[in-house]
Amino acid sequence: MARLLLANGTERQVTPRNARAGFTLPELYRLLSCTTVESGALGEGYLIVDEDGKYTKHERNAEATRLLRAAGGAPADFVTGDALVVGARELL
């Protein structure tokens, strides 16, 4: 089950419509309220974010930023808006 990390500091569990196939791009776009996604490796899974999030009025996402940095992201980099943490088998 994937974790949707909301920019307001809360999170909720989400599942793809077809659990056997994984999340589709339209599902990712809907969950993250965006039109382009970017992913980064997190050990055995991925952090999915709005690729254009820094150019919108989204607020910073502290937990997603922490995960990004812990996975080796640039120390000054940050995530804005909602983010999704998925296992490798949860992506279509």
pLDDT at 92: 65
Q: pTM for the full model?
A: 0.91
38 CB contacts (<8 Å, ≥6 apart)? 48, 49, 50, 51
21: its two tokens: 């196939």
pLDDT at 31: 97
Task: For the chain, list residues with pLDDT below 50.
Answer: none
pLDDT at 36: 95
